[in-house]
Amino acid sequence: MTVSRRRFILQSAEAAGVAALGLNLPLLGAPVSQNAEGLSWQKAPCRFCGTGCGALVGIQEGRVVAVQGDRECPVNRGLLCAKGYHLGAALYGKDRLKTPLIRKGGSLQEASWEEAINLIAEKVIADPDRFSIYGSGQWTIPEGYIAMKFLKGGLGNNHLDPNARLCMASAVTGFLTTFGVDEPSGCYDDLDLCEVVITWGNNWAEMHPVLFSRLIDRRARGEEILYIDLGTRRTRSTEAADHYLEFRPHTDLAIANCIAHQLVENGTCDRNFLDQNVRFKSNDDKDISLEEYRSFLQGYSVEKVSKLSGVPADQLRLLGDLFGDPKKKIVSLWCMGMNQHTRGTWINNLVYNAHLLAGKIGKPGSTPFSLTGQPSACGTCREVGTLAHALPGGRVNASDGDRAEVEEVWGCKPGAINPKPGHHTMAMFEALSKGELTGMWVQVTNPAQSIPNLHANLANAADRFVVVSDIYPTETTRIASVVLPSATWVEKNGIFGNSERRTQQWFRMVEPPGQARPDVWQVLAVAHRMYEMGCEDLKGRDGKFLLTVRDDSGNEVEAWKWEVFREFNVDRALFNEYRALTVKKHKDLAPYDEYVKVSGMRWPVVKQSDGSWKETKRRFVGGEDPYVKEGRQVDFYGARAGDSRAIIWARPYEDPPESPDSEYPFWLCTGRVLEHWHTATMTGRIKELRKAMPNTYVEIHAEDAERLGVKTGDRVRVRSRRGSIETVAWIGGRGKPQVGLVFIPFFDEKRLINRVTLDEYDPISKEPDYKKCAVALEKLS
Amino acid sequence: MSRLIAGRWVLFRCLVTLLLVSLAAAAPEVSDRTERRAFYTAPPTVPHELDGLENGDCLTCHEDVLDLGDQVSAPTPHPEYFNCLQCHVGTAPLPIAETTPDVASDWKGLAEPTLIERANPKAPPSIPHRLFLRDRCLSCHHPDHPNPAQRTSHPERSNCQQCHVADQEREF
Ligand code: SF4
């Protein structure tokens, strides 16, 4: 492998050199190797989940023909999952959108780019304050960045939010409230070093399969690992677990407090760690003492929590003892189970509490670790900050200083950025329905399938001016006024940021089909058209086009022109501009060209005295993170109080907003399956994946099924207070829910389970709870 | 996983597995390699149902060749990897597969190599794929392999790479 590696770096450096001159990269930028069959290979991260596996993409005759795991990528070491291997086929579905479409007389009709761009520019100019952008954790970093600059720096409104609101908003607010800054301290390497893994409502065998096998393959090598799965349903992950702790939905709040209770009562907290690194706060944000915290915990004794949660007392004690053992190295993992929760922020805080009390954070092999679902939920939504209240690099709209700094880098007129946060996702769709927003541009996501309680939240959306940029027809393009055909993955340049703070870059390798074009270009073209039409909002402080792209010598590049865009690496220019905004909160990124050479680096990435750039494996850890104060083992330097202390919050258990009753006697939990990505816009067009999992189903516990007289294969109606779907029953199948709970995956556009789900959300993170609502089941003949 | 459970349980699971697999009688003969692979070297799809089986069960039949008369299992070239279902997807569980998927696609995967390189006409052929995940040569080249082109004529010689060279630059 050394040979090809050397070649790769050499050629990458050449490519970077070309880029440095401000020239375009050759279409096949940095081939790893090229053989007699005309096949070449280049690196790109996987397009699907937040694991961020490095892939090698095989290109032949201008088409993707194969995808392999990159052995050089430390995330996956040569492996991918079934979605990753089949990713190439996601580009070649027969119904790819290849030309812009405009709704005329009720139907979508083919139009030119010119016509589409003019129409969008006119509509936005007519009502800029009520135009919104709904983006995605699948936005590349430059895509999110340019969309935000256009809306927040240009139009001066903040109605910009990503679908990541539905997926990791609670993780963000969890980090912010506990540590003062977003994103994890630990990294995937901790999976190689831990002795105990605890998953909190997380089926990583299907959702983050490469990380799951990174752990269980250690067992195959003879290592001893204790794996504890906390869940409401048995999954493929549970099969690998030594202990399965089945809890009643929502009682995870009490279970986490029960661990804290045991640590405090048994005297097994890490007192040294607490003295130096932690403060205690009441739920209403008042400083409290350890004694006061202890009395708060009295309600969470093993006996009480066992009764509430249904988890046997000895299993709760097992958790308490493991955390209380100073020698045990523990990793906690979670994703949607904790985030899609009406108390998502609290449960994130509570799991941090357990790790903080036990001092199990900031040590190799011991860390709480929040997984992300989307490939750049971290890189784009959280780091660029494409949220209704946020600005790049951990800044917020509400801060005068933050706004001024961003206006400076963006070259906006002073005061251009509005201090008032925009609508978060759920409020945005409500405002669109009511007409308080008149327009929305949807990019890289499919809300008409993924928003909860669809019927209520998408009402009237089709009457507004909705622009949808996507690669295939979806439920959302059905309600669109304008559909723009996008380029995807290796049809464009891109940069993603994964769950472990790793930023990964790739080059365009093939041409997009037909007239499809990258979203970055689409935004530039619309913005420039508005500028040409005289729109003051799109003028910077120098009176020039606000979104001007410049080459390394500072010359303007007419990137809004497609022929220019294609020949110039706009990603590189935008990324290098954005970099300047990442330093304030210690999320430092290296220059673009550094990422060309490697399979990603974890921030903060800091320049060394010899001129090289060094990544940080573990944040807040002495000897690893350059921002930790000299002599400290751990330094939570993001703490808002400036005291380097993380906060242990006294968050109580609270009942869920809707629970089963006599009319709707079952819990409904929704989720994903290994084969499909989100709403299956891509994976549903891949033969191997679609054949393996053609449609959704409802998992029912065998006892419930018997009572209802339902067998596998029977048709069943699942009904809530909001809506119903019909689907087919599966008993004892892939997952086995607890008695009284049913599970339905949400990928199937023919059976929209989000007609049924609840739209209650966490009041702090505004993330809805897709995991719990009450439904009735009815067997259909 | 079988490492963790008692021998009798293993035996029981073996029987259950065999039963399940034979019930999934859809499993056809291995005739067309390409039908089960999206491209040359893609992880093959599994011609039977997987749900109801557990992860460790795969090796019951696929650790080595298992000849059931009408069906022969394909042995894995990488038994050191445990999470089979990460890469290999199965056939939809029949009772729940309501729709026959119509997947209209222009995907054309990398073709099987037609030309096997040799240093000279009499030299042993070089290896046309990377060895990562595929260094247990006899798994795919055993003398009874359904595809004649893959059979070795000399299974008694176990040090394959003594004569057959692998192109280290290969990425597939
Ligand atoms: S685990 Fe995630 S990133 Fe890795 S190959 Fe699968 S979908 Fe892609």
Identify the pLDDT of residue A17: 40
Q: Please report whether residue A622 resides in a domain.
A: no
Same-domain status, A235 and A138? no
Give the one of A66, A92, A685 whose C-beta lies nearest to B110's C-beta. Answer: A66
As a whole-number percent, the residues of chain A with pLDDT over 70 amount to: 95
A583 has a pLDDT exceeding 80: yes
Ligand 1 surroundings by CB, under 6 angstroms? A 46, 48-49, 51-53, 76, 80-81, 83-84, 208-210
Domain boundaries, position A707: 666-779
Same-domain status, A268 and A311? yes
Q: Which of A479, A460, A459, A458 shows the shortest CA–CA distance to A470?
A: A479
B10 has a pLDDT exceeding 90: no
Q: Across residues A7-31, what is the average pLDDT?
A: 39
Q: Please report whether residue A152 resides in a domain.
A: yes
Specify whether A11 is catalytic. Answer: no
Residue of the nearest CA to atom 6 in ligand 1? A81
Q: Across residues B157-165, what is the average pLDDT?
A: 88
User: Alpha-carbon distance A152 to A338, whole Å?
Assistant: 31
Identify the pLDDT of residue B76: 93
Same-domain status, A390 and A508? yes
Both tokens assigned to A508: 């365009």
Both tokens assigned to A714: 């029977």
Is B118 or A367 the better-scoring residue by pLDDT? A367
Same-domain status, A183 and A131? no
Q: Are strands A54-60 and A63-69 parallel, antiparallel or unpaired?
A: antiparallel
Q: Please report whether residue A637 resides in a domain.
A: no
A535 has a pLDDT exceeding 60: yes
Closest-CA distance of chain B to residue A138, Å:
22
Same-domain status, A753 and A695? yes
What residues of chain A lie within 8 A of the CB of B171, using their CB? 4, 32-33, 41, 56, 58, 68
Is B61 or A56 the better-scoring residue by pLDDT? A56
B169 has a pLDDT exceeding 80: no
Contact criterion met (CB < 8 Å) for A712 and B95: yes
Give the one of A65, A205, A687 whose C-beta lies nearest to B83's C-beta. Answer: A205
Specify whether A168 is catalytic. Answer: yes
Q: Is the Cβ–Cβ distance between B126 and B166 less than 8 Å?
A: yes
Both tokens assigned to B19: 């039963």
User: Alpha-carbon distance A440 to A437, whole Å?
Assistant: 8
Both tokens assigned to A173: 């607010």
User: Which one of A650, A678, A708 terminates a domain?
Assistant: A650
Closest-CA distance of chain A to residue B141, Å:
22
Give the one of B81, B99, B109 whose C-beta lies nearest to A66's C-beta. Answer: B109
- Domain ranges (residues) in chain B: 1-93, 111-172
Nearest chain A residue to B5 by CA: give it.
Answer: A242
Q: Across residues A555-581, what is the average pLDDT?
A: 97
Q: Which residues of A558-587 are buried (b: 16+ CB within 10 A; e: fewer)?
A: ebbeeeebbebbbbbbbbebbbebbeebbb
A-facing residues of B in 95-154 (CB < 8 A) are: 95-101, 103-110, 113, 115, 130, 132-133
Same-domain status, A146 and A246? no
Identify the pLDDT of residue A696: 94
CATH number, domain containing residue A719: 2.40.40.20
Ligand 1 centroid to residue A51 C-alpha, Å: 6
CATH number, domain containing residue A327: 3.40.228.10
Contact criterion met (CB < 8 Å) for A1 and B168: yes
pLDDT tens track for A666-705: 999 999 999 999 999 999 999 999 999 999 999 999 999 9
Same-domain status, A364 and A412? no
Q: Please report whether residue A454 resides in a domain.
A: yes
Same-domain status, A159 and A289? no
Question: Binning pLDDT at 50, 70 and 90, where does residue B32 land?
Answer: low
Contact criterion met (CB < 8 Å) for B80 and A217: yes
What residues of chain B lie within 8 A of the CB of A37, using their CB? 113
Q: Across residues A455-480, what is the average pLDDT?
A: 94
Specify whether A194 is catalytic. Answer: no
The conformation of residue A657, written as its DSSP 8-state character, comes to: S
Contact criterion met (CB < 8 Å) for A88 and B39: yes
Specify whether A83 is catalytic. Answer: yes
Q: Worst-scoring range by mean pLDDT, A112-116, A335-339, A750-754, B60-64? A: B60-64
A20 has a pLDDT exceeding 60: no
Question: Which residue among the candidates A46, A53, A167, A258 is catalytic per the annotation?
Answer: A167
Residue of the nearest CA to atom 2 in ligand 1? A49
Q: Please report whether residue A596 resides in a domain.
A: no
Q: Which of A513, A476, A419, A579 shows the shortest CA–CA distance to A136?
A: A476
Question: Which residue among the candidates A365, A373, A394, A600 is catalytic per the annotation?
Answer: A373
Identify the pLDDT of residue B171: 65
Same-domain status, A692 and A730? yes
Give the one of B38, B97, B169 whose C-beta lies nearest to A3's C-beta. Answer: B169
Contact criterion met (CB < 8 Å) for B45 and A688: yes
Sign of CA dihedral A674, A675, A678, A679: negative
A-facing residues of B in 57-76 (CB < 8 A) are: none
B26 has a pLDDT exceeding 50: no
What residues of chain A lie within 8 A of the CB of B45, using their CB? 688, 691-692
pLDDT tens track for A702-727: 999 999 999 999 999 999 999 999 99
B-facing residues of A in 201-220 (CB < 8 A) are: 205, 209-210, 212-213, 216-217, 219-220
Contact criterion met (CB < 8 Å) for B169 and A35: yes
Specify whether A373 is catalytic. Answer: yes
Q: Which residues of A405-442 are buried (b: 16+ CB within 10 A; e: fewer)?
A: bbbebbbbbeebbbeebbbbbbbbbbbbbeeebbbbbb
pLDDT tens track for A400-447: 999 999 999 999 999 999 999 999 999 999 999 999 999 999 999 999
B42 has a pLDDT exceeding 70: yes
Question: Which residue among the candidates A29, A42, A81, A83 is catalytic per the annotation?
Answer: A83
Q: Is A81 on the interface with B (CB under 8 A)?
A: yes
User: Alpha-carbon distance A331 to A367, whole Å?
Assistant: 5
User: Alpha-carbon distance A183 to A450, whole Å?
Assistant: 25
User: Alpha-carbon distance A469 to A375, whole Å?
Assistant: 18
**For chain A, what is the radius of gyration of the CA atoms?**
25
Same-domain status, A129 and A215? no
Both tokens assigned to B3: 């490492």
Identify the pLDDT of residue B50: 85
A15 has a pLDDT exceeding 70: no
B-facing residues of A in 381-410 (CB < 8 A) are: none
Question: How many CB atoms sit inside 10 A of residue A156's CB?
Answer: 16
B-facing residues of A in 43-72 (CB < 8 A) are: 56, 58, 60, 63, 65-68, 71
Q: Please report whether residue A722 resides in a domain.
A: yes
Question: Binning pLDDT at 50, 70 and 90, where does residue B55 land?
Answer: low
Same-domain status, A298 and A404? no
Identify the pLDDT of residue B150: 86
Nearest chain B residue to A93 by CA: give it.
Answer: B105
Q: Please report whether residue A683 resides in a domain.
A: yes
B33 has a pLDDT exceeding 90: no
Same-domain status, A334 and A468? no
* A84 CA closest ligand 1 atom index: 5
Q: Write down the H helix ranges in A470-625.
A: 519-532, 562-567, 570-579, 592-596
Q: Please report whether residue A400 resides in a domain.
A: yes
Identify the pLDDT of residue A470: 98
User: Which one of A553, A568, A583 terminates a domain?
Assistant: A568
- Residues in Cβ contact with B168 at an 8 Å cutoff, skipping those fewer than 6 apart: A1, A3, A4
Ligand 1 centroid to residue B103 C-alpha, Å: 22
Question: Binning pLDDT at 50, 70 and 90, where does residue A34 land?
Answer: low
**Count of domains forming chain A:** 4
Ligand 1 centroid to residue A496 C-alpha, Å: 13
CATH number, domain containing residue A400: 3.40.50.740
What residues of chain B lie within 8 A of the CB of A219, using their CB? 3, 82
B29 has a pLDDT exceeding 90: no
At A393, the amino acid letter reads G
User: Alpha-carbon distance A98 to A488, whole Å?
Assistant: 12
pLDDT tens track for B101-135: 778 999 999 998 877 778 888 889 888 888 899 98
Identify the pLDDT of residue A6: 32
Question: Binning pLDDT at 50, 70 and 90, where does residue B15 land?
Answer: low
Instruction: Choose the mutation target among B16, B51, B63, B107 for the interface with A, i.e. most A CBs under 10 Å.
Output: B107
Q: Which residues of B66-81 are buried (b: 16+ CB within 10 A; e: fewer)?
A: eeeeebbbbbbbebeb
Q: Worst-scoring range by mean pLDDT, A19-23, A619-623, A679-683, B131-135? A: A19-23
